[in-house]
Structure 1
Protein backbone atom coordinates (compact mmCIF):
# COMPACT_ATOMS: atom_id res chain seq x y z
CA UNK A 1 0.00 0.00 0.00
CA UNK A 2 1.42 3.36 -0.99
CA UNK A 3 1.49 6.27 1.40
CA UNK A 4 -0.53 9.43 0.87
CA UNK A 5 1.49 12.16 -0.83
CA UNK A 6 1.14 15.82 0.06
CA UNK A 7 -0.06 17.55 -3.10
CA UNK A 8 -0.20 21.21 -2.05
CA UNK A 9 -0.87 23.03 1.18
CA UNK A 10 -2.66 26.32 1.19
CA UNK A 11 -3.24 28.82 3.95
CA UNK A 12 -6.00 31.26 3.14
CA UNK A 13 -8.88 32.40 5.30
CA UNK A 14 -9.06 28.79 6.40
CA UNK A 15 -6.37 26.17 6.05
CA UNK A 16 -6.63 22.99 4.09
CA UNK A 17 -4.25 20.41 2.83
CA UNK A 18 -4.61 18.03 -0.10
CA UNK A 19 -3.23 14.52 0.05
CA UNK A 20 -2.90 12.49 -3.13
CA UNK A 21 -2.95 8.72 -3.58
CA UNK A 22 -5.11 8.02 -0.49
CA UNK A 23 -6.98 4.70 -0.41
CA UNK A 24 -10.46 4.38 1.09
CA UNK A 25 -8.97 2.37 3.94
CA UNK A 26 -6.45 5.14 4.66
CA UNK A 27 -9.31 7.65 4.58
CA UNK A 28 -11.16 5.64 7.20
CA UNK A 29 -8.05 5.45 9.40
CA UNK A 30 -7.46 9.20 9.11
CA UNK A 31 -11.11 9.80 9.98
CA UNK A 32 -10.62 7.85 13.21
CA UNK A 33 -7.30 9.59 13.97
CA UNK A 34 -8.80 13.05 13.44
CA UNK A 35 -11.96 12.39 15.47
CA UNK A 36 -12.56 15.21 17.94
CA UNK A 37 -10.35 17.70 16.09
CA UNK A 38 -13.22 19.33 14.13
CA UNK A 39 -11.25 18.77 10.91
CA UNK A 40 -13.51 18.14 7.90
CA UNK A 41 -12.66 15.57 5.26
CA UNK A 42 -13.60 15.51 1.58
CA UNK A 43 -12.51 12.71 -0.73
CA UNK A 44 -12.64 12.17 -4.47
CA UNK A 45 -10.84 9.47 -6.45
CA UNK A 46 -7.88 9.11 -4.12
CA UNK A 47 -7.49 12.82 -3.30
CA UNK A 48 -8.23 13.79 0.28
CA UNK A 49 -8.86 17.36 1.42
CA UNK A 50 -8.46 17.99 5.14
CA UNK A 51 -9.97 21.34 6.16
CA UNK A 52 -8.89 22.92 9.41
CA UNK A 53 -11.50 23.63 12.07
CA UNK A 54 -13.93 26.14 10.64
CA UNK A 55 -13.61 29.81 11.49
CA UNK A 56 -16.18 31.91 13.31
CA UNK A 57 -16.84 33.81 10.07
CA UNK A 58 -17.60 30.55 8.26
CA UNK A 59 -19.91 29.32 11.00
CA UNK A 60 -21.67 32.68 11.33
CA UNK A 61 -22.33 32.80 7.57
CA UNK A 62 -23.56 29.21 7.53
CA UNK A 63 -25.85 29.73 10.51
CA UNK A 64 -27.33 32.94 9.13
CA UNK A 65 -27.96 31.51 5.66
CA UNK A 66 -29.45 28.26 6.93
CA UNK A 67 -31.66 30.08 9.47
CA UNK A 68 -32.94 32.41 6.74
CA UNK A 69 -33.66 29.49 4.42
CA UNK A 70 -35.46 27.57 7.16
CA UNK A 71 -37.46 30.69 8.05
CA UNK A 72 -38.58 30.96 4.43
CA UNK A 73 -39.59 27.29 4.21
CA UNK A 74 -41.52 27.46 7.48
CA UNK A 75 -43.32 30.65 6.44
CA UNK A 76 -44.28 29.08 3.10
CA UNK A 77 -45.31 25.78 4.77
CA UNK A 78 -42.73 23.79 2.82
CA UNK A 79 -42.05 20.50 4.60
CA UNK A 80 -38.30 20.00 5.08
CA UNK A 81 -35.90 17.93 7.11
CA UNK A 82 -32.52 19.25 8.22
CA UNK A 83 -29.77 16.78 7.37
CA UNK A 84 -26.98 18.92 8.79
CA UNK A 85 -23.38 18.15 7.92
CA UNK A 86 -23.73 14.39 8.08
CA UNK A 87 -21.02 12.61 6.12
CA UNK A 88 -22.09 11.66 2.62
CA UNK A 89 -20.26 9.29 0.32
CA UNK A 90 -19.60 5.75 -0.70
CA UNK A 91 -16.56 3.60 -1.29
CA UNK A 92 -18.18 2.35 -4.51
CA UNK A 93 -18.05 5.78 -6.15
CA UNK A 94 -14.89 7.05 -4.40
CA UNK A 95 -16.56 10.05 -2.78
CA UNK A 96 -17.02 11.58 0.62
CA UNK A 97 -18.06 15.03 1.77
CA UNK A 98 -19.40 16.79 4.82
CA UNK A 99 -21.67 19.58 3.56
CA UNK A 100 -22.00 22.73 5.62
CA UNK A 101 -25.77 22.16 5.73
CA UNK A 102 -28.20 19.93 3.86
CA UNK A 103 -31.93 19.35 3.55
CA UNK A 104 -34.54 16.95 2.30
CA UNK A 105 -37.72 18.53 1.00
CA UNK A 106 -41.07 16.76 1.30
CA UNK A 107 -39.88 13.51 2.87
CA UNK A 108 -36.73 12.11 4.43
CA UNK A 109 -34.40 10.42 1.95
CA UNK A 110 -30.94 8.86 2.18
CA UNK A 111 -29.41 11.65 0.07
CA UNK A 112 -30.23 15.34 0.63
CA UNK A 113 -32.11 17.26 -2.05
CA UNK A 114 -30.28 20.49 -1.26
CA UNK A 115 -26.73 21.10 -0.03
CA UNK A 116 -25.33 24.43 1.19
CA UNK A 117 -21.59 25.06 0.95
CA UNK A 118 -20.01 28.16 2.48
CA UNK A 119 -16.88 28.92 0.45
CA UNK A 120 -14.12 30.81 2.20
CA UNK A 121 -11.14 29.46 0.26
CA UNK A 122 -10.68 28.52 -3.36
CA UNK A 123 -9.14 25.38 -4.74
CA UNK A 124 -9.40 21.97 -3.22
CA UNK A 125 -11.61 19.10 -4.25
CA UNK A 126 -14.37 19.48 -6.82
CA UNK A 127 -17.41 19.30 -4.54
CA UNK A 128 -19.82 19.35 -7.49
CA UNK A 129 -18.32 16.10 -8.78
CA UNK A 130 -18.86 14.49 -5.38
CA UNK A 131 -22.47 15.64 -5.17
CA UNK A 132 -23.11 14.67 -8.80
CA UNK A 133 -22.06 11.09 -8.09
CA UNK A 134 -24.32 11.06 -5.03
CA UNK A 135 -27.28 12.48 -6.97
CA UNK A 136 -27.86 15.68 -4.95
CA UNK A 137 -30.50 17.69 -6.86
CA UNK A 138 -29.22 21.18 -5.97
CA UNK A 139 -26.00 22.59 -4.55
CA UNK A 140 -25.80 26.21 -3.37
CA UNK A 141 -22.44 27.89 -2.87
CA UNK A 142 -22.34 31.02 -0.71
CA UNK A 143 -19.20 33.09 -1.21
CA UNK A 144 -18.68 36.67 -0.03
CA UNK A 145 -22.42 37.13 0.38
CA UNK A 146 -23.37 35.88 -3.09
CA UNK A 147 -25.21 32.68 -3.93
CA UNK A 148 -24.42 30.43 -6.88
CA UNK A 149 -27.01 27.71 -7.49
CA UNK A 150 -26.36 24.50 -9.40
CA UNK A 151 -29.04 22.04 -10.45
CA UNK A 152 -28.42 18.45 -11.54
CA UNK A 153 -29.89 17.97 -15.01
CA UNK A 154 -29.19 14.97 -17.27
CA UNK A 155 -26.34 13.87 -15.02
CA UNK A 156 -24.49 17.23 -15.02
CA UNK A 157 -24.70 20.37 -12.91
CA UNK A 158 -25.90 23.53 -14.61
CA UNK A 159 -25.66 26.94 -12.94
CA UNK A 160 -29.08 28.57 -12.78
CA UNK A 161 -30.52 31.86 -11.53
CA UNK A 162 -33.50 30.38 -9.69
CA UNK A 163 -33.85 27.25 -7.57
CA UNK A 164 -35.83 24.41 -9.12
CA UNK A 165 -36.64 23.09 -5.65
CA UNK A 166 -37.81 26.47 -4.33
CA UNK A 167 -38.88 28.35 -7.47
CA UNK A 168 -40.62 31.20 -5.60
CA UNK A 169 -37.64 31.97 -3.36
CA UNK A 170 -35.95 35.28 -4.20
CA UNK A 171 -32.29 34.23 -4.02
CA UNK A 172 -30.96 37.79 -4.28
CA UNK A 173 -33.06 38.83 -1.32
CA UNK A 174 -31.92 35.79 0.65
CA UNK A 175 -28.29 36.64 -0.12
CA UNK A 176 -28.85 40.28 0.85
CA UNK A 177 -30.12 39.34 4.31
CA UNK A 178 -27.35 36.75 4.70
CA UNK A 179 -24.82 39.60 4.40
CA UNK A 180 -26.23 41.53 7.37
CA UNK A 181 -23.75 41.70 10.21
CA UNK A 182 -26.28 40.96 12.94
CA UNK A 183 -27.90 37.54 12.58
CA UNK A 184 -30.81 38.32 14.90
CA UNK A 185 -31.75 41.46 12.96
CA UNK A 186 -31.27 39.69 9.62
CA UNK A 187 -33.66 36.87 10.53
CA UNK A 188 -36.24 39.16 12.15
CA UNK A 189 -36.27 41.60 9.23
CA UNK A 190 -36.44 38.79 6.67
CA UNK A 191 -39.25 37.08 8.59
CA UNK A 192 -41.29 40.28 8.69
CA UNK A 193 -40.76 40.78 4.97
CA UNK A 194 -41.81 37.31 3.87
CA UNK A 195 -44.77 37.19 6.26
CA UNK A 196 -46.15 40.44 4.85
CA UNK A 197 -45.54 39.12 1.33
CA UNK A 198 -47.77 36.05 1.83
Structure 2
Protein backbone atom coordinates (compact mmCIF):
# COMPACT_ATOMS: atom_id res chain seq x y z
CA UNK A 1 0.00 0.00 0.00
CA UNK A 2 1.28 3.45 -0.95
CA UNK A 3 -0.20 6.83 -0.30
CA UNK A 4 -1.64 8.62 -3.29
CA UNK A 5 -0.05 12.09 -3.51
CA UNK A 6 -1.85 15.15 -4.82
CA UNK A 7 -0.91 16.05 -8.42
CA UNK A 8 2.35 18.00 -8.81
CA UNK A 9 3.26 17.42 -5.19
CA UNK A 10 5.92 19.90 -4.05
CA UNK A 11 7.36 19.64 -0.58
CA UNK A 12 10.54 21.68 -0.63
CA UNK A 13 12.46 24.37 -2.45
CA UNK A 14 16.13 23.52 -2.95
CA UNK A 15 19.32 25.28 -3.91
CA UNK A 16 22.57 23.42 -4.55
CA UNK A 17 26.16 24.71 -4.43
CA UNK A 18 29.18 22.69 -5.52
CA UNK A 19 32.92 22.77 -4.91
CA UNK A 20 32.65 24.39 -1.48
CA UNK A 21 35.21 23.61 1.19
CA UNK A 22 34.17 23.14 4.82
CA UNK A 23 34.99 26.70 5.80
CA UNK A 24 32.94 28.16 2.93
CA UNK A 25 30.01 25.89 3.81
CA UNK A 26 30.08 27.02 7.44
CA UNK A 27 30.18 30.69 6.44
CA UNK A 28 27.06 30.27 4.29
CA UNK A 29 25.31 28.25 6.97
CA UNK A 30 26.02 30.84 9.67
CA UNK A 31 24.90 33.71 7.46
CA UNK A 32 21.63 32.14 6.31
CA UNK A 33 20.70 30.53 9.62
CA UNK A 34 20.34 34.02 11.07
CA UNK A 35 17.94 35.06 8.29
CA UNK A 36 16.01 31.97 7.17
CA UNK A 37 14.47 28.69 8.31
CA UNK A 38 16.53 26.78 5.78
CA UNK A 39 18.04 23.34 6.38
CA UNK A 40 21.60 22.56 5.32
CA UNK A 41 23.07 19.29 4.09
CA UNK A 42 26.74 19.14 3.13
CA UNK A 43 28.52 16.18 1.59
CA UNK A 44 32.13 16.41 0.45
CA UNK A 45 31.94 19.79 -1.29
CA UNK A 46 28.25 19.79 -2.23
CA UNK A 47 25.86 21.96 -0.20
CA UNK A 48 22.10 21.60 -0.52
CA UNK A 49 19.95 24.28 1.09
CA UNK A 50 16.33 23.25 1.63
CA UNK A 51 13.32 25.40 2.44
CA UNK A 52 10.52 23.08 3.64
CA UNK A 53 6.98 23.81 2.46
CA UNK A 54 3.68 22.74 4.00
CA UNK A 55 3.60 19.25 2.50
CA UNK A 56 7.06 18.53 3.83
CA UNK A 57 6.48 19.92 7.30
CA UNK A 58 3.14 18.24 7.81
CA UNK A 59 4.51 14.83 6.86
CA UNK A 60 7.56 15.30 9.08
CA UNK A 61 5.51 16.35 12.10
CA UNK A 62 3.00 13.52 11.66
CA UNK A 63 5.79 10.95 11.44
CA UNK A 64 7.24 12.50 14.58
CA UNK A 65 3.87 12.04 16.30
CA UNK A 66 3.73 8.44 15.05
CA UNK A 67 7.13 7.70 16.62
CA UNK A 68 6.25 9.48 19.87
CA UNK A 69 3.06 7.45 20.30
CA UNK A 70 4.90 4.18 19.66
CA UNK A 71 7.61 5.02 22.18
CA UNK A 72 5.20 6.14 24.90
CA UNK A 73 2.73 3.27 24.51
CA UNK A 74 5.49 0.65 24.32
CA UNK A 75 7.13 1.95 27.49
CA UNK A 76 10.40 2.93 25.80
CA UNK A 77 12.75 5.86 26.50
CA UNK A 78 13.62 8.57 23.98
CA UNK A 79 15.77 11.65 23.54
CA UNK A 80 14.38 13.80 20.75
CA UNK A 81 16.99 15.76 18.81
CA UNK A 82 14.74 17.45 16.24
CA UNK A 83 16.87 18.87 13.42
CA UNK A 84 20.06 19.24 15.47
CA UNK A 85 23.02 19.62 13.12
CA UNK A 86 25.08 16.45 12.75
CA UNK A 87 28.57 17.74 11.97
CA UNK A 88 31.54 15.55 11.05
CA UNK A 89 34.24 17.81 9.66
CA UNK A 90 36.62 14.84 9.55
CA UNK A 91 34.26 13.17 7.06
CA UNK A 92 33.29 16.42 5.29
CA UNK A 93 29.65 15.68 6.06
CA UNK A 94 26.92 17.64 7.83
CA UNK A 95 23.17 17.13 8.00
CA UNK A 96 20.06 18.62 9.57
CA UNK A 97 17.46 15.85 9.27
CA UNK A 98 13.77 16.38 9.88
CA UNK A 99 13.74 14.18 12.98
CA UNK A 100 16.43 12.32 14.90
CA UNK A 101 16.22 10.25 18.06
CA UNK A 102 18.19 8.32 20.61
CA UNK A 103 16.19 5.28 21.70
CA UNK A 104 18.45 2.23 22.06
CA UNK A 105 21.34 4.46 23.18
CA UNK A 106 19.16 6.76 25.28
CA UNK A 107 21.05 6.02 28.50
CA UNK A 108 24.36 7.03 26.92
CA UNK A 109 23.22 10.59 26.08
CA UNK A 110 20.27 11.32 28.38
CA UNK A 111 22.17 13.49 30.85
CA UNK A 112 24.29 15.72 28.59
CA UNK A 113 24.45 17.60 25.30
CA UNK A 114 25.46 15.25 22.52
CA UNK A 115 29.01 15.47 21.18
CA UNK A 116 29.48 13.29 18.11
CA UNK A 117 33.23 13.16 18.72
CA UNK A 118 32.58 10.87 21.69
CA UNK A 119 28.86 9.96 21.58
CA UNK A 120 27.21 7.58 19.11
CA UNK A 121 25.08 9.02 16.29
CA UNK A 122 21.29 9.06 16.72
CA UNK A 123 19.68 5.62 16.60
CA UNK A 124 16.96 6.73 14.19
CA UNK A 125 16.96 9.53 11.62
CA UNK A 126 13.95 10.57 9.52
CA UNK A 127 14.11 12.53 6.27
CA UNK A 128 11.15 13.75 4.21
CA UNK A 129 12.19 14.44 0.61
CA UNK A 130 9.12 15.01 -1.52
CA UNK A 131 10.89 16.86 -4.31
CA UNK A 132 14.16 15.69 -5.88
CA UNK A 133 17.40 15.96 -3.93
CA UNK A 134 20.80 15.91 -5.63
CA UNK A 135 22.48 14.34 -2.61
CA UNK A 136 22.82 10.63 -1.90
CA UNK A 137 21.48 10.72 1.64
CA UNK A 138 21.73 6.96 2.06
CA UNK A 139 25.50 7.19 1.67
CA UNK A 140 25.68 10.32 3.81
CA UNK A 141 23.88 8.88 6.84
CA UNK A 142 25.63 5.52 6.44
CA UNK A 143 28.95 7.38 6.63
CA UNK A 144 27.73 9.07 9.83
CA UNK A 145 26.97 5.63 11.26
CA UNK A 146 23.23 6.11 11.78
CA UNK A 147 21.83 2.60 12.49
CA UNK A 148 18.30 3.20 11.16
CA UNK A 149 17.19 5.67 8.51
CA UNK A 150 13.59 6.35 7.48
CA UNK A 151 12.87 8.08 4.15
CA UNK A 152 9.45 9.35 3.09
CA UNK A 153 8.77 10.93 -0.31
CA UNK A 154 5.14 11.85 0.27
CA UNK A 155 4.00 8.48 -0.99
CA UNK A 156 6.41 5.72 0.03
CA UNK A 157 8.09 4.96 3.37
CA UNK A 158 11.49 3.26 3.19
CA UNK A 159 13.04 1.70 6.28
CA UNK A 160 16.81 1.32 5.97
CA UNK A 161 19.06 -0.56 8.40
CA UNK A 162 22.83 -0.11 8.48
CA UNK A 163 24.55 -3.42 7.72
CA UNK A 164 28.30 -3.66 7.08
CA UNK A 165 28.51 0.06 6.39
CA UNK A 166 25.62 0.15 3.89
CA UNK A 167 21.85 0.47 4.19
CA UNK A 168 19.63 -2.51 3.53
CA UNK A 169 15.91 -1.90 3.04
CA UNK A 170 13.67 -3.66 5.57
CA UNK A 171 9.98 -4.52 5.59
CA UNK A 172 9.73 -3.41 9.23
CA UNK A 173 11.55 -1.04 11.53
CA UNK A 174 14.23 -2.73 13.68
CA UNK A 175 13.26 -0.29 16.45
CA UNK A 176 9.52 -1.05 16.17
CA UNK A 177 9.29 -4.58 14.72
CA UNK A 178 5.58 -4.87 15.54
CA UNK A 179 4.82 -2.03 13.12
CA UNK A 180 4.29 -2.74 9.43
CA UNK A 181 4.53 -0.16 6.66
CA UNK A 182 0.78 -0.18 6.19
CA UNK A 183 0.39 0.99 9.79
CA UNK A 184 2.20 4.25 9.06
CA UNK A 185 0.30 4.72 5.80
CA UNK A 186 -3.04 4.21 7.55
CA UNK A 187 -2.06 6.63 10.29
CA UNK A 188 -0.99 9.32 7.81
CA UNK A 189 -4.17 8.94 5.76
CA UNK A 190 -6.30 9.23 8.90
CA UNK A 191 -4.27 12.16 10.25
CA UNK A 192 -4.72 14.16 7.05
CA UNK A 193 -8.44 14.14 7.86
CA UNK A 194 -8.35 14.35 11.66
CA UNK A 195 -5.05 14.37 13.57
CA UNK A 196 -6.62 13.95 17.01
CA UNK A 197 -8.74 10.97 15.98
CA UNK A 198 -5.74 9.42 14.23
CA UNK A 199 -3.59 9.73 17.34
CA UNK A 200 -6.30 8.22 19.56
CA UNK A 201 -6.76 5.36 17.10
CA UNK A 202 -3.02 4.71 16.93
CA UNK A 203 -2.70 4.62 20.72
CA UNK A 204 -5.57 2.15 20.97
CA UNK A 205 -4.06 -0.03 18.25
CA UNK A 206 -0.62 -0.11 19.94
CA UNK A 207 -2.21 -1.01 23.29
CA UNK A 208 -4.05 -3.89 21.62
CA UNK A 209 -0.82 -5.09 20.00
CA UNK A 210 0.94 -5.10 23.37
CA UNK A 211 -1.83 -7.13 24.98
CA UNK A 212 -1.97 -9.63 22.11
Scaled by the length of structure 1, the TM-score of the pair is 0.88
- What is residue 48 of structure 1 aligned with on the other side? 47
- What is residue 71 of structure 2 aligned with on the other side? 73
- What is residue 159 of structure 1 aligned with on the other side? 169
Post-superposition Cα deviations, 1:7-31, rounded to whole Å, max 9, x if no partner, equal: xxxxx54211111100100011001
Separation (CA, whole Å) in 2 of partners of 1:62 and 1:25: 30
5+ residue gaps, structure 1: 1-11
Q: Using the TM superposition, give the Cα deviation of residue 165 of structure 1 relative to its aligned residue in structure 2, in angstroms.
A: 2.3
Which of 87, 90, 101 is equivalent to 2:88?
90
Q: Using the TM superposition, give the Cα deviation of residue 187 of structure 1 relative to its aligned residue in structure 2, in angstroms.
A: 1.0
Separation (CA, whole Å) in 1 of partners of 2:79 and 2:204: 23
Separation (CA, whole Å) in 1 of partners of 2:121 and 2:150: 15
> Which one has a larger percent helix, Structure 1 or Structure 2?
2
For the pair 1:195 / 2:193, whether they are aligned, the reply is no
The alignment partner of 2:91 has SS state of coil
Separation (CA, whole Å) in 1 of partners of 2:152 and 2:198: 16
**Would you say the 8 A contact 2:11–2:56 is kept in 1?**
no
- What is residue 16 of structure 2 aligned with on the other side? 18
Separation (CA, whole Å) in 1 of partners of 2:81 and 2:134: 24
| 4+ long deviations beyond 6 Å | none
Q: What root-mean-square deviation, in Å, do the aligned CA atoms of Structure 1 and Structure 2 show?
A: 1.5
Q: Which has the higher contact order (CA 8 A, sep 6+)?
A: 2
Separation (CA, whole Å) in 2 of partners of 1:125 and 1:179: 28
**Would you say the 8 A contact 1:69–1:174 is kept in 2?**
no
The verdict on how the C-alpha distance between 1:104 and 1:25 changes in structure 2, with shifts beyond 3 A counting, is same
The verdict on how the C-alpha distance between 1:35 and 1:41 changes in structure 2, with shifts beyond 3 A counting, is same
Scaled by the length of structure 2, the TM-score of the pair is 0.82
> Which one has a larger percent strand, Structure 1 or Structure 2?
1
5+ residue gaps, structure 2: 1-9, 110-118
Which of 141, 150, 162 is equivalent to 1:140?
150
Q: Using the TM superposition, give the Cα deviation of residue 175 of structure 1 relative to its aligned residue in structure 2, in angstroms.
A: 2.4
Separation (CA, whole Å) in 1 of partners of 2:45 and 2:73: 43
Which of 113, 124, 136 is equivalent to 1:126?
136
Q: Using the TM superposition, give the Cα deviation of residue 77 of structure 1 relative to its aligned residue in structure 2, in angstroms.
A: 0.8
